[in-house]
Amino acid sequence: MFDTILRGGEIYDGSGRAPFAGDVGVKDGKIAALGRLTEARAETEIDVAGLAVSPGFIDIHTHSDFTLMVNGCAESQVHQGVTTEVVGQCGVSCAPANCARDIEVMSPGYAPGCVDLGWRSFGEYLDHLEARPLGVNVVAFVGHGTVHRAVLGDQLRPANPDEVQTMARMVDEAMEQGAGGLSTGLEYWPGSVAAPEHVVPLVEVAAKHGVLYATHVRNRDIYYDLGFGEAMATARLGGARLQISHIQPKFGAPDYAMEHSIEMIDSNRRHGVDVAFDVIPHDWSHTGVVASLPSWAREGGVPALLDRLMDPDTRERMKVNPKPIWRLVPAGRWDDIVLLRSQANTGLVGMTIAEIGRARGKDPFDAVFDLLLEEGENVSQLMWTSHSFKDREIKLCLEQPHCAVMSDTLALAPYGELKDHIGSLAGYGWAARFLQTYVRDDKVMPLAEGIRRMTTLPAERLALRDRGSLQPGHWADITVFDPQAVASHCTVREPRRYASGIAHVLVNGVPAMRDGARQQSNTGSVLRRH
């Protein structure tokens, strides 16, 4: 007697092989049998004829560290078939921390007053997360930037050798307490002040524990080859497996940058460096507006930044940034940049910066400074998005067998305390858009291979040995969908629309979606590294 049987579907086991017709039997949260289960019975039997039965999708790169603490239901993810998230990316994680202020500053998607900030160690953070009902399973990486802040605070300088060793010990403690990997965000402060010699000792710790090192590289535009070369050299010296996050080049990179980057990766792979990468299946990029300011403007934290934003002369100095995170800004491409998130000016979300400047009768750059100032203490949460990736480069990446697909976003809900939050234009529809656009419409790869990119491939990179594929003994994280109907409905004006075409989702054997409707169950687990 099974708990659940999914009957008569096209079973895609996650390996990339062609599907086969059959049933899936679930017992005690795990897959108990695959094949023709004609004589078997279950408490719940679901007819899935004509639908694809897949492993639950694994989002290998998210920033849901804090939003899952606010609302663990992960509605935006579950509604598109995601059953596991990997948080703590781009060098930013919710722990370790010395005080509540550290958590506020380093938590992506931070929402004031929603959560008791009672943790300090990484293990305590996982305990707090584990105490909440979770709609998805969660693997948590520890971020280099967060560790750097725990040691150096707001000081705008690299760590000295003793401080680097202190940081390495903190990473080691986080790994012992369950962190599933290490991440860096070398384009963001404080990663931007760290050289390879500051990062390699931390990567060595990741290698010791056998976990993945994921990096948002230092540059993906005019110095793209230096950024990717540094990432691979750091992994080679540290001895760790490397995951290059959201690899697609940005505005300013030469036309051949993607081809050259893949050549560099292939060369390193031939010489024994274990390197792979992932892409956002969307040609829109996003970031925090503060990240576009010169690093000196952020020294001293938010109060100092707000003071600088009130001084006209300092504003003029801020317009000159020798290392802009987006070269669209110094190029004055304000029509290509759209306001994505603002707590102080929600009515402006969806407008281009050029439109906002015209509406306010100001130079667009000055309008941006005003928006930052108006956010006040929440200035780090102001976000914008840009149409800066090239579709042909996304397709070129997807043609590489070691390219995974991810969201680079937040697990959200269009209600409650997160109703005004947004992580990216891909947030409510990244998985659906990948299956819709690149698999079904553009036929970049067969459906079986597309499923592998979101299931078995990320599971292997993360060393999740009992998830990511449909086979007896594995946890029953399962997504059932209509390949012809799955679709994303997110737009710049309406980014919080659920995907369609997802029929059923099981998380650890329990239905989280049934017949396209979200169920009350939240049976996700925190997956600590053992």
Unique residue bearing structure tokens 């989702």 = 505
User: Sorting pLDDT into bands at 50, 70 and 90, what band is 496?
Assistant: very high
Which domain, by its residues, includes 334?
289-386
The secondary structure of 182-240 as a DSSP string is EEEETTSTTGGG--HHHHHHHHHHHHHHT-EEEEE-S-SSTTHHHHHHHHHHHHHHHT-
Shared domain for 36 and 130, answered yes or no, is no
Percent of the chain with pLDDT over 70: 100
For residue 485, the model assigns a pLDDT of 98
Residue 110, domain member (yes or no): yes
> What secondary structure letter does DSSP report for 62?
B
User: Sorting pLDDT into bands at 50, 70 and 90, what band is 50?
Assistant: very high
pLDDT at 492 over 90: no
Structure tokens at 252: 């300013």
Shared domain for 135 and 21, answered yes or no, is no
**Mean pLDDT in residue range 148-170:** 94
For residue 155, the model assigns a pLDDT of 84
Shared domain for 183 and 94, answered yes or no, is yes
* Crossing angle between the packed helical segments 144-152 and 161-176, to the nearest 10 degrees: 130
Residue 64, domain member (yes or no): yes
Residue 524, domain member (yes or no): no
For residue 363, the model assigns a pLDDT of 95
End-of-domain residue from the set 359, 386, 413: 386
Q: Residue 147: name the closest of 183, 112, 119 by CA.
A: 183
Shared domain for 411 and 488, answered yes or no, is no
Residue 527, domain member (yes or no): no
The count of structural domains within the chain is: 3
User: Sorting pLDDT into bands at 50, 70 and 90, what band is 251?
Assistant: very high
Shared domain for 99 and 153, answered yes or no, is yes
**Mean pLDDT in residue range 183-195:** 93
Shared domain for 173 and 260, answered yes or no, is yes
**Mean pLDDT in residue range 235-252:** 96
pLDDT at 389 over 90: no
SS (H, E, C) 112-149: CCCCCCCCCCHHHHHHHHHCCCECCEEEECEEHHHHHH
pLDDT tens per residue across span 254-267: 999 999 999 999 99
Q: Residue 498: name the closest of 392, 419, 414 by CA.
A: 414
Shared domain for 454 and 431, answered yes or no, is yes
CATH number of the domain within which 8 lies: 2.30.40.10
pLDDT at 156 over 80: no
For residue 325, the model assigns a pLDDT of 86
For residue 168, the model assigns a pLDDT of 98
Higher pLDDT, 377 or 196: 196
**Mean pLDDT in residue range 161-179:** 98
Shared domain for 207 and 85, answered yes or no, is yes
pLDDT tens per residue across span 323-345: 888 999 999 999 999 998 898 99
**Mean pLDDT in residue range 393-416:** 97
**Mean pLDDT in residue range 32-37:** 96
Residue 329, domain member (yes or no): yes
For residue 171, the model assigns a pLDDT of 98
pLDDT tens per residue across span 498-518: 999 999 999 999 999 999 999
Q: How far is CA 398 from CA 141, 160, 449, in A?
A: 25, 40, 10
Evaluate the omega torsion of the peptide bond into residue 446 and state whether it is cis, within 30 degrees of 0: no
Shared domain for 376 and 413, answered yes or no, is no
For residue 425, the model assigns a pLDDT of 84
For residue 283, the model assigns a pLDDT of 87
End-of-domain residue from the set 367, 386, 405: 386
CATH number of the domain within which 108 lies: 3.20.20.140
For residue 464, the model assigns a pLDDT of 97
Shared domain for 176 and 206, answered yes or no, is yes
For residue 423, the model assigns a pLDDT of 85
Supply the pTM of this predicted model.
0.95
Shared domain for 376 and 399, answered yes or no, is no
**Mean pLDDT in residue range 76-88:** 98
Contact status, residue 110 vs residue 66, Cβ threshold 8 Å: yes
Contact status, residue 217 vs residue 228, Cβ threshold 8 Å: yes
Shared domain for 304 and 191, answered yes or no, is no
- Helix ranges (H only) for 26-121 are 67-70, 75-78, 100-106
Strand, coil or helix: 296: helix
**Mean pLDDT in residue range 8-20:** 98
Q: Label residues 260-279 b or e (16+ Cβ within 10 Å = b).
A: ebbebbeebeeeebbbbbbb
Structure tokens at 74: 């992960």
For residue 426, the model assigns a pLDDT of 85
**Mean pLDDT in residue range 357-380:** 94
Q: How far is CA 145 from CA 2, 95, 131, 152, 193, in A?
A: 46, 10, 26, 10, 10
Contact status, residue 244 vs residue 276, Cβ threshold 8 Å: yes
Taking the C-alpha atoms of residue 108 and residue 105, their distance in angstroms, rounded to an integer, is 8
Average pLDDT, the chain: 95
User: Sorting pLDDT into bands at 50, 70 and 90, what band is 299?
Assistant: confident
pLDDT at 530 over 80: no
End-of-domain residue from the set 386, 410, 437: 386
For residue 448, the model assigns a pLDDT of 98
Strand, coil or helix: 59: strand
